[in-house]
Amino acid sequence: MSASITVVGLGSGNPDRLTIGIIKTMQRASKVYVRTLSHPVIAALNEFQVNPESFDHVYEAHDTFPEVYESIASALINLARAAEDNREIVYAVPGHPMVAEATVRLLRERCPGENVTLTVLGGESFLDEAFVRLGFDPIEGFQLLDAAELQASVLQPQLHTLIGQVYDMFTASEVKLALMELYPDDYPVIVGHALGVEGEEAIQRVPLYELDRIEGYGNLSLVYVPRSDDSQLRQRTFARLHEIVGILRSPEGCPWDREQTHESIRKNLIEETYEVLETIDEDDPEHMQEELGDLLLQIMLHSQMEEELGTFTVYDVIQALNDKLIFRHPHVFGESSAKDAESALQNWEQMKAEEKRLKGLSPEKASVLDGIPRDLPALMKAYKLQKKASKVGFDWDNIEGVFQKIEEELGELRQAVAEGQSAEDTALELGDLLFAVSNAARFIGADPEESLSRTNRKFVSRFSYIEEQLALQGKSVEGSTLDEMEALWQAAKSGSSHNGGIHG
């Protein structure tokens, strides 16, 4: 006969709910162990001549619950193997063994490999009492969540929600914060303590913001969030956004949205991106929130168009992104390490090359300049092209070489203008000069696109000052002389370390 463990449930707390079968199982066992003595049924076990030994001491020996549960599971397996004549030992847990009982899950995983026979008997779950005492039918839609792992992303307001393992006020506070990500602060929730236990049961209905301000939390406490069909509760969910975009594109939706194609809204994606960048430059979080939403809408619309064709959905987009982020960060999600940002970037590039190999592409045959979007703004693209070329040694030794190149290209532009060359040839010379100038950015550690954007903003600010001051004098820029505008430009620059006239 092999070693064996029988797991039984002690129910939700009322000893009258113990089944005869479970009582007899504990009575005939060579030894009965309980996870904790902190359960109302324990006191009644003496009437049945059952004197269990608890694992309460294990809680004091470890810092985390996972460590506690691992220790208990290991101890039970060792006790079963050491039992004389392989006699059965019984492990009794609060509630039902298969509901929110981590030690039983560990035993189910480990016993087969340890040659220990595991038998799991039932028991009244706290869910049975919750359905009765809180008065809801789970067939309407129900989810059971663990307070210790609660995240707003798993909450579904259209379902009845029970949150177990709310041991103390700190845990209640964490639950409150997670719920407030989705529910309004005054949403009614119910706290249940020791449901079904005579003389100990307490049920309190409170607004969400008071969840961590009430007393009585313990091993038999839970939080109940009633279901609601109020669509406003889903306004903070990604699923609702997906649903809304689908409606807009449906035959019953918006005529304008239905007519759009990838090509027709292509420019919107670029425009919304630049509007987001503007909020970053202006350090305007409130406006940034709005513009990020507008940018997200463009992604949702393009994804919805493909979903209608059956090619992919936005959830495929999310999965692909998640897969990519995990794959390209082995120093975070794998066994590699990265001591600094440079090491992390090297890991990223190595994993990008590995992705190409996995897709059947040969990194060796690819151009060094591959991977730069065709339609990037020209200055930004020039910068990226030069960075890629520099990685394989195609570069100047120092910035002096760049300055010489700028002077050379400036001379050729001057010559093209002086000789009256064609507009196309002169424009090409101008492009060569801009390309050379963007190279200087790498050597001084500046992004040329960002640098030029800052100068643009500075120009707008100073020119606006000129217009304002002229208006105060009853004048306009059209009716003013260059000298008048230059004087106001210098006034606008007062306090600035940059010198030069209107053109600098």
* Residues ≥6 apart with Cβ < 8 Å to 305: 249, 260, 261, 262
The predicted pLDDT at position 236 comes to: 84
**H helices of 282-422, where?**
285-309, 314-327, 330-333, 341-358, 378-390, 399-418
Q: How far apart are CA 278 and CA 270, in angstroms?
A: 13
HSE-up of residue 315 (Cα within 13 Å, Cβ side): 7
**Hey, is 213 helix, strand or coil?**
coil
The predicted pLDDT at position 322 comes to: 94
Secondary structure of 22-91 as H, E, C letters = HHHHHHHCCEEEECCCCCCCHHHHHHHCCCCEECHHHHHHCCCHHHHHHHHHHHHHHHHHHCHHHCCEEE
The predicted pLDDT at position 157 comes to: 92
Q: How far apart are CA 410 and CA 197, in angstroms?
A: 89
Count the neighbouring beta carbons within 10 Å of the beta carbon of residue 261. 10
The predicted pLDDT at position 498 comes to: 47
Give me the phi and psi of 129, to 5 degrees please. -70, -35
Q: Record the tokens describing residue 307, joined without a space.
A: 């979903």
Q: What is the pLDDT along the chain (504 residues), one digit of tens a residue?
A: 578 899 999 988 888 888 899 999 999 888 899 999 888 888 888 888 888 999 999 998 998 889 999 999 999 999 988 876 667 789 999 889 998 899 999 999 999 998 889 999 988 888 988 999 999 999 999 999 999 899 988 999 999 999 998 989 999 999 999 999 999 999 999 999 988 888 889 999 999 999 999 999 998 899 999 999 888 888 888 989 999 999 999 999 999 999 999 999 998 998 999 899 889 988 999 999 999 999 999 999 999 999 999 999 999 999 999 999 998 888 888 888 888 887 887 777 787 777 777 777 665 556 777 777 787 888 888 888 888 888 878 888 899 999 999 999 999 999 999 999 999 999 999 999 999 999 999 899 998 988 888 898 889 999 999 999 999 999 999 999 999 999 999 998 884 544 444 445
The predicted pLDDT at position 503 comes to: 47
Q: Which domains does the chain have, with CATH numbers?
A: 1-123 (3.40.1010.10), 126-232 (3.30.950.10), 236-311 (1.10.287.1080), 376-445 (1.10.287.1080), 449-495 (no CATH)
Count the neighbouring beta carbons within 10 Å of the beta carbon of residue 366. 12
In angstroms, the Cα distances linking 146 to 102, 104, 155, 215, 265 are: 11, 16, 12, 20, 44
